[in-house]
Homo-oligomer: A and B are copies of this chain.
Amino acid sequence: MKLYDTKTAPNPRRVRIFLAEKGVEVDSVQIDLKGGQNLSPEMRAKNPTAKIPILELDDGTCISESDAICAYLEAVYPEPPLMGSTPLEKGVIAMWQRRVDLCLMQTVVHCFQHTTGYFSDRMTPVAEYGEVAGKDAVAFLDVLEQQLATTKFIAGEQFSIADIIALCAIDFARVVKIRIGENQTNLQRWYAEVSSRPSAQA
């Protein structure tokens, strides 16, 4: 297996942490997103939406989208489970995975892309929308703060893919000056814990 990766981008890090938690090592190829290396015909043949990461299997099959790569890895390497074991665990973890993804990761990424114009050579940034997305991201931190008042990790007592996405989103959010608030003590406790796991270095 080979991972097409960009060290500085938040979505590939989701996969790197997921792999580290599973104890699986893969070869990786660094792709220069800012330089547009992902937009080449060769890379578009691997992923028509030209996004990174991409997991290339030994037979050449390419799986893109961080969530999908994780779903594949969870099926191949079930231990330790990061997406739930029972139907209820699967449902609750998927719920938080989705909330964190849409309400935090996507909003932070939209805030970054639309307010900075980082990818203005390939998309139309709308600064006003970027500001709205940033406010939505900040508002969602309150939802997490409330949830973490009663649970150890975001989706319950077990570390899961929802924690991985939230960690990647919150670390990346520094680029748009969004941080956990000083009064969000449950989020701070959670952040200290997940950041200290060896996988967070991935």
A residues contacting B by CB (< 8 A) are 48-49, 55, 57, 61, 63-65, 67-69, 71-72, 75-76, 86-88, 90-92, 94-95, 97-99, 102-103, 106, 114, 123-124, 126, 128-129, 132, 135, 140, 143, 146-147
Contacts and interface: CB of A to CB of B under 8 A. Distances in A.
B97 A72 contact: no
B132 A65 contact: no
Contacts of A63: 91-92, 95
Given A68-B95, A75-B90, A126-B128, 15 more contacts: A49-B99, A49-B103, A57-B88, A63-B92, A65-B95, A65-B98, A68-B94, A71-B91, A72-B88, A75-B86, A75-B91, A102-B106, A114-B129, A123-B132, A128-B129
A91 B72 contact: yes
A94 B72 contact: yes
Residue of A49, A64, A72, A103 most packed against chain B (CB within 10 A): A72
A181 to B, nearest CB: 17
Interface of A is mostly: helix
B91 A69 contact: yes
A119 to B, nearest CB: 13
Nearest to A83: B71
Nearest to A139: B49
B87 A76 contact: yes
Contacts of A76: 87
A36 to B, nearest CB: 17
Contact of A98 (B67, B95, B103): B67
A86 B114 CA distance: 38
Given A87-B75, A87-B76, A143-B48, A98 B68 contact: yes
Nearest to A92: B63
A114 B94 CA distance: 27
A72 B87 contact: yes
